[in-house]
């Protein structure tokens, strides 16, 4: 087999789903096709599960909003946040008393994911920030232990939970990015590469777990997506960026995304 400069085949895991934000049909297929490309290249490829993705996402937002986004506001030097960030800005600035009330009401309305985000976001005391930072370090250590226990070299991860979404829709669909937030938290190198396009019949969103506003927004965002590109992430250990790039190149070479005359449904 051809390993493109590697001395031996790699052990590569791939993640097909997270219960926190289930993948669209096309995003799931993209991971499968990338995994199959690497299997054809001679690598050992197998499915993995990562139950802590929800915990990673919540922890990321807890730390990100811990100062009510003051760090980001200072970096913007008076420039306003984009409209797409207004939901997370609202969560960050919500007074604690209202946050507590809304977090209790949300599950009664079926908004369990929203309740978790409400509880985690917002300004924190020094003690609370230290607790969340400790949680982050524990998640980082657990991920390293998982990586070592599976003897992994690379993980193929979904790029997002959905294909490209309409302008402005990310305001209500930040959780669809949970597949990328986790590596902001963990610090692993990750490359994003296109693999396929949304096919006819895949322009819908099915969520067997949730029935909340995120699900409704995801269903609406999938309308008209036929022909849009769908990618994956290639994730490596910390400081193994070159291996990430090598494997990304292998996938690109086999799937030949740019060579495929596959602009189904696109009008230009």
Q: Which two tokens stand for residue 105?
A: 């009401």
* CA angle in degrees (0–180, nearest 5) for 260-261-263: 110
The whole-number average pLDDT for the span 221-241 is 96
Query: What is the rounded distance in angstroms from the CA atom of residue 206 to the CA atom of residue 216?
Result: 10
Tokens 């209202």 correspond to what residue? 98
Query: φ, ψ for residue 235 (rounded to 5)?
Result: -115, 135
Beta partners for 11? 44
Instruction: Say if residue 21 is exposed, middle or buried (CB neighbours under 10 Å; 0-12, 13-18, 19+).
Output: buried
Asked if 116 contacts 99 with a C-beta cutoff of 8 angstroms, the reply is no
Query: What is the rounded distance in angstroms from the CA atom of residue 106 to the CA atom of residue 92?
Result: 17
The whole-number average pLDDT for the span 224-247 is 96
pLDDT over 90 for what percent of the chain? Answer: 83
Other Cβ atoms less than 10 A from the Cβ of 93: the count is: 14
Model pTM? 0.91
Residue among 8, 20, 78, 72 at smallest CA distance from 49? 20
Residue among 92, 27, 30, 29 at smallest CA distance from 60? 92
Angle, helices 112-120 vs 213-221, to 10°: value is 110
* Residue 111 in this model has a pLDDT that exceeds 90: yes
The whole-number average pLDDT for the span 67-84 is 92
Please tell me the predicted confidence (pLDDT) of residue 261.
Answer: 55
Q: State the alpha helices, DSSP H only, in 44-194.
A: 53-64, 70-76, 86-93, 96-105, 112-120, 126-149, 178-186
Please tell me the predicted confidence (pLDDT) of residue 168.
Answer: 84
| pLDDT one-digit tens code per residue, 8-59 | 899 999 999 889 999 999 999 999 999 999 999 999 999 999 889 999 999 9
Q: State the alpha helices, DSSP H only, in 153-268.
A: 178-186, 213-221, 241-255
Q: Which two tokens stand for residue 106?
A: 């949300």
* Residue 3 in this model has a pLDDT that exceeds 70: no
Please tell me the predicted confidence (pLDDT) of residue 17.
Answer: 82
Please tell me the predicted confidence (pLDDT) of residue 260.
Answer: 59
Collapse the DSSP code of 84 into the 3-class scheme (helix H, G, I; strand E, B; otherwise coil) and give the result.
helix
Other Cβ atoms less than 10 A from the Cβ of 67: the count is: 16
Average pLDDT, the chain: 92
Angle, helices 53-64 vs 126-149, to 10°: value is 150
Q: What does the H/E/C string look like for 19-70?
A: CCCCCCHHHHHHHHHHHHHHHHCCCEEEEECCCCHHHHHHHHHHHHCCCCCH
């Amino acid at each position: 087999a051809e390993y493109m400069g590697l001395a031996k085949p790699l052990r590569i895991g791939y993640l097909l789903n997270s219960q926190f934000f289930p993948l669209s049909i096309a995003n799931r297929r993209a991971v499968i096709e990338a995994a199959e490309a690497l299997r054809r290249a001679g690598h050992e490829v197998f499915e993995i599960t990562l139950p802590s993705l929800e915990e990673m996402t919540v922890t990321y937002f807890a730390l990100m909003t811990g100062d009510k986004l003051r760090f980001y506001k200072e970096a913007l030097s008076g420039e306003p946040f984009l409209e797409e960030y207004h939901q997370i800005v609202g969560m960050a600035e919500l007074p604690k008393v209202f946050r507590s009330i809304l977090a209790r009401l949300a599950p009664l309305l079926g908004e369990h994911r929203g309740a978790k985000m409400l509880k985690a976001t917002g300004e924190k005391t020094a003690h609370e920030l230290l607790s969340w930072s400790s949680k982050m370090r524990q998640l980082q250590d657990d991920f390293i232990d998982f990586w070592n226990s599976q003897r992994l070299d690379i993980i193929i991860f979904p790029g997002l939970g959905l294909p490209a979404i309409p302008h402005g829709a990310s305001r209500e669909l930040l959780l669809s990015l949970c597949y990328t937030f986790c590596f902001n938290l963990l610090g692993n190198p990750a490359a994003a590469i296109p693999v396929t396009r949304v096919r006819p019949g895949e322009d819908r969103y099915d969520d067997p777990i949730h029935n909340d506003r995120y699900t409704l927004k995801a269903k609406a965002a999938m309308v008209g997506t036929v022909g849009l590109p769908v990618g994956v992430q290639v994730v490596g250990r910390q400081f193994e960026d070159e291996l990430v790039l090598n494997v990304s190149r292998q996938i690109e070479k086999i799937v030949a995304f740019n060579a495929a005359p596959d602009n189904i449904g696109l009008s230009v």
